[in-house]
A and B are shown apart, each in its own frame.
Chain A
């Protein structure tokens, strides 16, 4: 069952700038799904649309069956959200943020938030502007977990964190989601974080869904061949997803298929890079559309 769904949604800014177009996707209940894509691919727009911050220009989306634009309150009650910037009130202490969350959200459980902050040694009496970026992100996550919502939406919360802070953040996230049985959708650029924390991968590019698979499935279904060898390997038509530069500058191609297409197994990063590279080409030359599980 899908707890987050979009139905042919599009979001246009101005008269012709489409951030999202014809996006159909489902996020299964209980999963931790990573949403990946280049800047401007519509990740944040999509997450904000679920929170009711952005209204789709076309199509509709739902949170646990509720359209946020028809019943924003109902949708928000099912969501915990961590925005891209922590957005804390610099005048307030951490504990006052917890108190504020309780006044705004009837189901908010302050003890959950305080317990998580205590575990991370984040002082409750510290003002928000005295905290490091990592601590602010953790406060944002603690508030999101404190609402005890079935869905967690995290909009690049790791972007400004150092590696240790990112690791701690993801550790808290995964523990909480697994313990509560909730569903999380994590937007991120950092592939290693995704492999560590997520079980599904959703790649957005050029405003549309490029890939929607389990992490294991995404790795298993792709191989990487040296672009120079593609002709020699001669994969079946439509199997080459896209080409991208390798670590040494060599040109690699991501190919859809099993061992029979040659090459070597793809890493998750290569899967993402291949699909993002494909999205950069004019749409008519993309080998095939999105791949959905």
Chain B
């Protein structure tokens, strides 16, 4: 009875069997690789006094640190492919949802059978979307795990290190790419051109979105005095936004304010106090959730427009 109730989902998954199996196997394989590599890094972690060693590495630590470097190299083999596959799956699952059906003419069968094209569209979309979300969340968790293993002293939930290449944002960005691919496919109706155009639109959409988010973050940054001797501001895990000079009246200015004159005195010390603008690491979850929500909104709009296109267009 249940199998019959979800027959529509089974048939949709069957239509996309090749892409699902190929990308699913790739992500799961890479995620397993990530967890194995992370466990290996954990297992070869040297004693704490080796990690804090500054400058000269004690002889007793050299072998342990070499092993850590080897293990990190192993993680590097997984990191880039995992990210690439996580984004590629959005593209290669999104385009066929409508474009391939239009290209092969199968919509002529489906659309005369279906009194509601919206229903057909949702039946095609939802099973793929669920699988995509699960796979890319797995990729995000695997990246989080690798990050935690390579930075054992950092709380990954309160650090902007690796922002955007780990955690839930991987899934959000992959779903955004998926939505753009579905939309482009619904307009163009041919798979290969849709892949190319969707790649370009998703790239510019994501990079444009990141730029806008950076501008929003700049308005939310907090000022942290820079220690002129230590040369850094903020704590590990904070997101660095910018560095400014603080005038006596409290105005923040950049190097351009000095108009060619040296902002540093003859001792190399700044004429005015320097501050760093940072987003505290404690805000990581909030910032991540906000970007994910914005991407989800963009994805929803793209998918709704694709639905309108499906409802109105000729089957070709």
Q: Is the CB of A83 within 8 A of B108?
A: yes
> Which of A79, A96, A105 contacts B11, CB < 8 Å?
A96
Chain B residues near A48: list those with CB within 8 A. Answer: 314
Interface hits, A69-101 → B, CB 8 Å: 72-74, 76-77, 79, 81, 83, 85-92, 96-97, 99-101
Q: Does A271 contact B (CB under 8 A)?
A: no
Q: Is the CB of A54 within 8 A of B314?
A: yes
Chain A residues near B14: list those with CB within 8 A. Answer: 91-92, 96
Q: Does A108 contact B (CB under 8 A)?
A: yes
Q: Is the CB of A92 within 8 A of B113?
A: no
Cα separation A104 to B117 with both chains bound (whole Å) = 9
Q: Does A103 contact B (CB under 8 A)?
A: yes
Q: Does B8 contact A (CB under 8 A)?
A: yes
Q: Is the CB of B11 within 8 A of A100?
A: yes
Q: Does A27 contact B (CB under 8 A)?
A: no
What is the chain B residue whose CB lies nearest that of A101? B113
Given contacts A77-B115, A92-B11, contact A103 B123 (CB under 8 A): yes
Cα separation A86 to B108 with both chains bound (whole Å) = 9
Query: Interface readout for A111-144 with B: 1 if CB under 8 Å, 0 if not?
Result: 0000000000000000000000000000010010
Cα separation A90 to B103 with both chains bound (whole Å) = 13
Q: Does A51 contact B (CB under 8 A)?
A: yes
Q: Does B253 contact A (CB under 8 A)?
A: no
Q: Does B187 contact A (CB under 8 A)?
A: no
Interface hits, B68-122 → A, CB 8 Å: 104-117, 119-120
Q: Is the CB of A104 within 8 A of B15?
A: no
Q: In angstroms, how far is the closest chain B Cβ from the Cβ of A180?
A: 18
Q: Is the CB of B108 within 8 A of A103?
A: no
Q: In angstroms, how far is the closest chain A Cβ from the Cβ of B35?
A: 33
Q: Which of B11, B112, B117 has the most CB of A within 10 A?
A: B112
Cα separation A216 to B153 with both chains bound (whole Å) = 92
The bracket for how many chain B residues form the interface is 20 to 34
Cα separation A177 to B161 with both chains bound (whole Å) = 70
Q: Is the CB of B114 within 8 A of A105?
A: yes
Chain A residues near B11: list those with CB within 8 A. Answer: 92, 96, 99-100, 103
> Which of B15, B106, B113, B120 contacts A147, CB < 8 Å?
B113
Q: In angstroms, how far is the closest chain A Cβ from the Cβ of B111?
A: 7
What is the chain B residue whose CB lies nearest that of A140? B109
Q: Is the CB of B106 within 8 A of A102?
A: no
Q: Which of A51, A77, A99, A104 has the most CB of B within 10 A?
A: A104
Cα separation A86 to B105 with both chains bound (whole Å) = 9
Cα separation A51 to B120 with both chains bound (whole Å) = 16
Q: Does B17 contact A (CB under 8 A)?
A: yes
Given contacts A102-B7, A104-B120, contact A92 B15 (CB under 8 A): yes
Q: Is the CB of B7 within 8 A of A73?
A: no
Q: Does B298 contact A (CB under 8 A)?
A: no
Q: Does B205 contact A (CB under 8 A)?
A: no
Q: In angstroms, how far is the closest chain B Cβ from the Cβ of A86?
A: 8
What is the chain B residue whose CB lies nearest that of A86? B109
Q: Does B315 contact A (CB under 8 A)?
A: yes
Chain B residues near A79: list those with CB within 8 A. Answer: 112
What is the chain B residue whose CB lies nearest that of A85? B105
Cα separation A10 to B281 with both chains bound (whole Å) = 65
Q: In angstroms, how far is the closest chain B Cβ from the Cβ of A138?
A: 14
Cα separation A119 to B158 with both chains bound (whole Å) = 67
Given contacts A76-B112, A81-B112, A105-B113, contact A89 B8 (CB under 8 A): no
Chain B residues near A105: list those with CB within 8 A. Answer: 113-115
> Which of A74, A86, A96, A108 contacts B113, CB < 8 Å?
A108
Q: In angstroms, how far is the closest chain B Cβ from the Cβ of A78?
A: 10
Chain A residues near B17: list those with CB within 8 A. Answer: 91
Q: In angstroms, how far is the closest chain B Cβ from the Cβ of A125?
A: 14
Q: In angstroms, how far is the closest chain A Cβ from the Cβ of B40?
A: 40
Cα separation A107 to B17 with both chains bound (whole Å) = 28
Instruction: Given contact pairs A92-B14, A100-B110, A105-B114, enumerate 15 new A-B contacts (beta carbons under 8 Å).
Output: A53-B108, A73-B115, A76-B114, A77-B115, A87-B104, A89-B104, A100-B7, A100-B8, A101-B113, A103-B123, A104-B120, A104-B123, A106-B115, A143-B109, A147-B113
Q: Which residues of B contact A (CB under 8 A)?
A: 7-8, 11, 14-15, 17, 104-117, 119-120, 123, 314-315
What are 12 of the A-B contact pairs (CB < 8 Å)? Answer: A51-B112, A53-B111, A72-B115, A73-B116, A85-B108, A86-B109, A91-B17, A96-B11, A100-B113, A104-B110, A105-B115, A143-B113
